[in-house]
Amino acid sequence: MKLIILMVALLIVGLLTIQQMAPKAVAPDASADLNSTHTAPDVPEVPTRPDEVKQFGKEMSDYIQSEAAKRAAALEEAQKQ
């Protein structure tokens, strides 16, 4: 009886492992392409080297400020209507 329970448990673990390891079919429209041209062109690129981090911080800060200004302008425009 213990052997049967052990075999069933191993079967379940094996099936779950295979299910997790199998490639998943994702519809092309649902997949997220991080290097897509559909993103905003002014979004800073994430650094890959430690010496690029300071420049990335500056670029990200500028980007955040510009986006905040755009949103504030859009809010002002919406409130005028």
Determine the pLDDT at residue 31. Answer: 54
Residue 59, in any domain of the structure: yes
Residue 55, in any domain of the structure: yes
Distance CA 40, CA 78 (A): 22
Distance CA 42, CA 54 (A): 17
Residue 43: DSSP 8-state: S
Percent of the chain with pLDDT over 70: 79
DSSP for 2-22 reads: HHHHHHHHHHHHHHHHHHHHS
Residue 15, in any domain of the structure: no
Residue 22, in any domain of the structure: no
Determine the pLDDT at residue 59. Answer: 92
Q: What is the pTM of this model?
A: 0.47
Determine the pLDDT at residue 3. Answer: 96
Largest CA distance in the chain: 77
Residue 35, in any domain of the structure: no
- Number of structural domains found in the chain: 1
The range of the structural domain enclosing residue 61 comes to 51-81
Residue 36, in any domain of the structure: no
Choice between 81 and 35, residue whose per-residue pLDDT is larger: 81
Q: In this predicted model, what pLDDT tens digit does every residue of 19-44 receive, in sequence order?
A: 999 877 665 555 555 555 555 667 88
- Classify the C-alpha dihedral 74-30-38-34 as positive or negative: positive
Determine the pLDDT at residue 24. Answer: 75
